[in-house]
Amino acid sequence: MHDHSHDHGSHAPGHTHSHAHAPKDFGRAFVIGITLNFGFVAVEAAFGILANSTALLADAGHNLSDVIGLVIAWGAAILSKRPPTPRFTYGLRASSILAALGNALLLIFACGAIAWEAIWRFAEPEPVASTTVMVVAGIGILINGFTAWLFMSGSKSDLNIRGAYLHMVADAGVSLGVVVAGAAIMFTGWLWLDPVTSLIIVAVILWSTWGLLRDSINLALGGVPAHIDLEAVKTYLQSLPGVVRAHHVHVWGMSTNEAALTAHLVMPGGHPGNDFFEKAQHELLARFGIAHPTLQIEIGEGTAAEAGDE
């Protein structure tokens, strides 16, 4: 026997949903970050041309891609707060997943452009104004570091915000590398250090982007969010009073910071009360970060359960 009643909150106990508090608003952080970084891109590109530095131009190109990435992430953060509609019954929460994936792909494309230019510079090395390179890149460390700090508080709980945060952290590290390369060229005269620094920039970006790409693809395909252990969720559900088996347990990311769950709970003893659902939804949120659980009660094993379905 299956129960298919539907409700929200503490209505009829057959099927229940819970909703998490709204995520922190990073609108101000996006405005400040985009403004500062766009201004710095213009300055860095101009001095890169004047100083004849591939490393500075590479860093400016990467910073430009980050400005675009911040705009994409900000747009997704705004769209994800739009209310549900008859066509989009969950709203546009998933736009943050698409933004995280788009940012990862954008960074990989930027890496290809930077590496291509660096390889050509190996064949035809040119003098570099080391002092200019160090001063401009030093400013970049401050700007990127400050922007990263603006997003730090949300970097662990929201993949979209983490994308913006990782961009800025990587940029700060890259700018530090440019400063070191400029100093080394000044004292050694080794012009090949400039394209080598560009390739190191590529390696740093790819390394920092891999996790973002992997996790965003996972969420885009409806996978279990990386921070959730599905077996632990099943174990918890089966430990609930009166539950002899939990099956059809599915967990997916509705957005980059919200997870949903549906599960069938076999309870031969009959329907539980509202307290059962209230405790379950509270624990699912507290233990696993699952903000939108849907629990369906089955009175008896039923045909599907006997067939050993998951």
Q: Which of 197, 220, 243 is the last residue of a domain?
A: 220
The answer to whether 171 touches 66, Cβ cutoff 8 Å, is: yes
Query: What are the pLDDT digits (tens) for 89-125?
Result: 888 888 989 988 988 888 788 788 778 877 887 777 6
177 residue type, one letter: G
Q: Residue 286 domain-assigned?
A: yes
Who has greater pLDDT, 276 or 21?
Answer: 276
Q: Residue 21 domain-assigned?
A: no
Q: Residue 6 domain-assigned?
A: no
Classify 154 as helix, strand or coil.
helix
Structure confidence at residue 300 as a pLDDT band (50, 70, 90): low
Find the mean pLDDT for residues 112-140.
Answer: 76
Provide the pLDDT for residue 219: 92
d(Cα 290, Cα 295) in Å, to the nearest integer?
12
Q: Which of 220, 238, 272 is the last residue of a domain?
A: 220
Q: Residue 2 domain-assigned?
A: no
> 10 Å Cβ neighbour count for 75?
14
Vertex 289: Cα angle to 240 and 277 (nearest 5): 35
- For residue 14, pLDDT beyond 50: no
Structure confidence at residue 309 as a pLDDT band (50, 70, 90): low
Alpha helices in the chain (DSSP H): 27-51, 54-79, 95-123, 130-151, 159-188, 193-220, 230-238, 274-288, 302-306
Provide the pLDDT for residue 52: 76
Q: Residue 115 domain-assigned?
A: yes
Mean per-residue pLDDT over the chain, rounded = 80
CA nearest 245: which of 290, 309, 293? 309
Provide the pLDDT for residue 91: 87
**Both 189 and 274 in a single domain?**
no
Q: Residue 148 domain-assigned?
A: yes
The answer to whether 171 touches 36, Cβ cutoff 8 Å, is: no
Q: Give 262's Cβ-side CA count (13 Å radius).
A: 8
d(Cα 224, Cα 235) in Å, to the nearest integer?
16
d(Cα 20, Cα 259) in Å, to the nearest integer?
10
111: tokens are 């890496």
Q: Which domain holds residue 262?
A: 230-306
CA nearest 289: which of 225, 218, 239, 216? 225
Provide the pLDDT for residue 77: 85
Structure confidence at residue 154 as a pLDDT band (50, 70, 90): confident
**Both 271 and 210 in a single domain?**
no
- For residue 305, pLDDT beyond 60: no
With b for 16 or more beta-carbon neighbours within 10 A and e for fewer, the 3-31 pattern comes to beeeeeeeeebbbbbbeeeebeebeebbe
- What CATH number is attached to the domain comprising 93? 1.20.1510.10
Provide the pLDDT for residue 231: 94
- For residue 5, pLDDT beyond 60: no
- For residue 190, pLDDT beyond 90: no
CA nearest 195: which of 175, 209, 178? 178
Provide the pLDDT for residue 220: 92
- Cα 65 → chain centroid: 16
d(Cα 20, Cα 291) in Å, to the nearest integer?
5
Classify 246 as helix, strand or coil.
strand
The answer to whether 164 touches 32, Cβ cutoff 8 Å, is: no
Q: Residue 61 domain-assigned?
A: yes
- For residue 310, pLDDT beyond 70: no
- What CATH number is attached to the domain comprising 265? 3.30.70.1350
Provide the pLDDT for residue 206: 86
CA dihedral over 90, 96, 100, 105, signed as positive or negative: positive
Query: What are the pLDDT digits (tens) for 225-272?
Result: 988 999 999 999 999 999 999 999 999 999 888 899 999 999 988 777
